[in-house]
Amino acid sequence: MKVASVLIPLPVPEAFDYEVPETMALARGESVAVPLGPRLIRGVVAEVRETTGSNRRLKAVTTRLDDPPLPAGTMDFLDWAARWTLSPPGEMTAMAVKGLRAPPPRPERLVRRVGDRTPARSTPARTAVLEALGERAQPPADLARAAGVSSAVVKGLIDEGVLEIIETLVPAAFDPPDPAHAPATLNPDQAAAADVLAAATAAGGFAAFLLDGITGSGKTEAYLEAVARTLARDPSAQILILLPEIALTQDLIARITARFGAAPAEWHSGIAPPRRRQVWEAVVAGRCSIVVGARSALFLPFANLKLVIVDEEHDASFKQEDGLVYHGRDLAVARARIEGAVVVLASATPSLETLWNARAGRYGWLKLSRRHGAAVLPDIQLLDLRQCPPDPQTWLSQPLREAIAETLLAGEQTLLFLNRRGYAPVVLCRACGHRMTSPDTDSWLVEHRYTGRLVCHLTGFTMARPRLCPACGAEDTLVSVGPGVERVEEEVRALFPEARTAVFSSDTVPDARAARALIRTMTEGGIDILVATQAAAKGHNFPRLTLVGVVDADLGLRGGDLRAAERTFQLLTQATGRAGRAERPGRAILQTWTPDHPVLMALAAGDRDAFVEAEMGEREAAALPPHGRLAALILSGVDALAVEKTANDLAAAIPNAERLEVYGPADAPLGLIRGRRRKRLLVRADRDVDLQGFLRSWLGRVKVPASVRLTVDVDPYSFL
């Protein structure tokens, strides 16, 4: 008999076997309905094989679903991704059919002619409608517009039975991009990079490149030229462009539309479910050429993927830490390798892992060393707050205030950067010292003055700011400590009441539409001072922005995070790089209490190589990424004793292995989240150690109880 191994969207380690009825033909990648207990569940066929029999009775596949099958390359990628991340293969496959779970769009109402019927009374307007309709069904409003008549004329013909209404599902139209529509003028560096990328896609097969260009050097134009040449050579080619944040998609979509005369498809959480289904169906059918999306777009079923671009590849937002845990950048490289495509990792501040691969020759290294056009890099000044501290309960020093005033006087724009949402990060009681925290979570509550509420940015818990301290009952003793962007904006409005001031953070710009509107206003000069988190610190081009003030340059350097220095250097480089991107020269002022910190000194000197060498040396000495590998095991549960016992059982079952260490178990820095206690173990291994094999062997020795959740994070980015 034939047996189908079916991947179902459950946290189980392997596919389930089902008998294939003799009357049913199945192939890998097809969707099926199979019985699981008392219910039917959707699954995807991983394999079909012949067998002479089985010592157990298999249930039969119930139905072959009439959905497009997943291409072979997609199935190979899902299998690799599940093994690399140690994720349940069924849950990984569910990511690839997510678009199919979305409801289809509503049927479109069209009108068509009923046979050869003619109206009882002919008028010029009715004749115009029938001539405009011809043999093709059309929407009523479009038909009336084409005929130059009112909708009442069309309705009258419908009521008389000359026309009839039909409902039909029309496949979404994705206009093909025109590679010759509006080519950009490239400088020699950009042209050389585009030539290399175009030659690689023309040669076919896998190739990986780092597109390493300073802020404002025109990386987007360079890779869009490579896209154009790829499509000119093969109009059926598909291109995926990944961005770390939804807010960045709007500007890129506008640039792609201007370049190719057609808008790309979008894929991210801000897209309505029916539209996601249309994109999914168009991608698998090869009717969609360019997709711009978030990391989940990696799982789309591309029919002919030829080029993958990961823009801002260094960004930590490419790391998915909820549900399935994976890094979008790493999976993008794997997807390109499996599909035989070219992958481009673009950044002004590449991650150390990507730089290490470029230095080792694994990736081609394309450098853009100068800004596009007449723009030059901004001057960067470290402002020592020990010498000129802000006034009490304020956050902007006098030199920064004066620089803002000068910029306003010149009719130019200022960006004040503070990577901290809300009004104040801590609310505490002056009487007893109690800090307001989220219930059942160790996370502090952040005050949001706009809404008058305290918010946990980790769990989403929110409450009104209380009048009494919940610990000691004292009245009116709660005080706000430290600044967030809302508090800085409050200070700016008091200092410069005539300035047009706005805040750009995920609280004030909650969706793509709001982000697009604010970015347009800033670009057109409708904002004088923009107070922003990292939402505005990367990827945007504001021609009139000439001053960037970093309110707290030391913020990211605190704590023991492995990547704290790297992330701070990247983020501040990106933030300061917003200044002076057009003809007007720019400058950046970084307020700091530690101006002699190596990260800040390298930033001020514009010496990225010095920072990279120092950071690489420290990582190599400790055999940490990219010179080593890490994996984290996170245990959580409501029952603290069960979590403790499982952690100890894991520690007792560690296999013997060379060139590998396990640290812990230890309480997680955030030891309580949503009422669940958390423990962590950290594995460090040399680069050539089979880390995934070690983890599989280790986890196979311990049965984790149902009351405890185990999350495996290969190459962790968060250590909380």
Any idea which architecture 188-368 has in CATH? 3-Layer(aba) Sandwich (3.40)
Q: Which CATH number among 3.30.70.141, 3.40.1440.60, 3.40.50.450, 2.40.110.10 corresponds to the domain 2-101?
A: 3.40.1440.60
Angle formed at CA 456 by CA 570 and CA 319, multiple of 5 degrees: 35
Angstrom distance (rounded) from CA 632 to CA 155: 65
Lowest mean per-residue pLDDT among 165-179, 195-209, 637-651: 165-179
| pLDDT beyond 90 at 215 | no
Lowest-pLDDT range, 249-263, 270-284, 511-525? 511-525
- Asked if the domains at 2-101 and 379-420+483-617 fall in one CATH topology, the answer is no
The three-class DSSP label of residue 569 is helix
pLDDT band for position 373 (cuts 50, 70, 90): low
Structure confidence at residue 280 as a pLDDT band (50, 70, 90): very high
Whether a cis peptide bond, with omega within 30° of 0, leads into 665 is: yes
Q: Is the pLDDT of residue 372 over 70?
A: no
More confident residue, 451 or 90: 90
Instruction: Return the beta strands (E) in 139-214 as ranges.
Output: 163-168, 207-213
Range of lowest pLDDT (315-319, 361-365, 393-397, 572-576): 572-576
Q: Is the pTM of this model over 0.75?
A: yes
H or E segment and range at residue 106 = none
Got the DSSP string for 462-491?
A: EEEPPSB-TTT--BS-EEEES--HHHHHHH
- Residues 433, 481 contacting (CB under 8 angstroms): no
Look at residue 420 in the predicted model and tell me its pLDDT: 87
Confidence of residue 87 (pLDDT cuts 50, 70, 90): very high
- C-alpha dihedral (380, 384, 388, 392), degrees to nearest 10: 100
Q: How far apart are CA 250 and CA 339, in angstroms?
A: 28
Pairwise pLDDT comparison (585 vs 343), residue with the higher score: 343
What is the distance between the alpha carbons of residues 304 and 392, in angstroms, rounded to a whole number? 61
Q: Does domain 628-714 have CATH number 3.30.70.600?
A: yes
Looking at residue 44, its amino acid is V
Distance (Å) of CA 217 to CA 507, 686, 702: 31, 36, 52
Q: pLDDT class for 85, splitting at 50, 70, 90?
A: very high
Higher pLDDT, 510 or 658: 658
**Region 421-426 average pLDDT:** 87
Are residues 286 and 181 in contact, defined by beta-carbon separation less than 8 angstroms?
Answer: no
CATH topology classification for 379-420+483-617: Rossmann fold (3.40.50)
The residue ranking higher by pLDDT, 380 or 580, is 380
Backbone dihedral angles phi then psi of residue 640, each to the nearest 5 degrees:
-60, -35
Alpha carbon dihedral 324, 329, 331, 336, in 10-degree steps, equals: 150
491 or 52: which leads in pLDDT? 491
User: What is the rounded average pLDDT of the residues 361-366?
Assistant: 96
> 54 pLDDT band (50/70/90 cuts)?
low
Residue 669's pLDDT band (cuts 50, 70, 90):
confident
- According to the model, what pLDDT value does residue 654 have? 94
Domain assignments of the chain as residue spans, ordered by start: 2-101, 108-168, 188-368, 379-420+483-617, 628-714
Instruction: Read off the pLDDT of residues 690-716 as tens digits, 9 standing for 90 and up.
Output: 999 999 999 999 999 999 999 999 999
Per-residue model confidence as pLDDT tens digits over 503-540:
988 787 777 778 888 888 998 999 999 999 887 777 67
Residue 561 above 80 pLDDT? no
Measured CA to CA, the distance from residue 676 to residue 710 in angstroms comes to: 12
Q: Cis before residue 626, ω within 30 degrees of 0?
A: yes
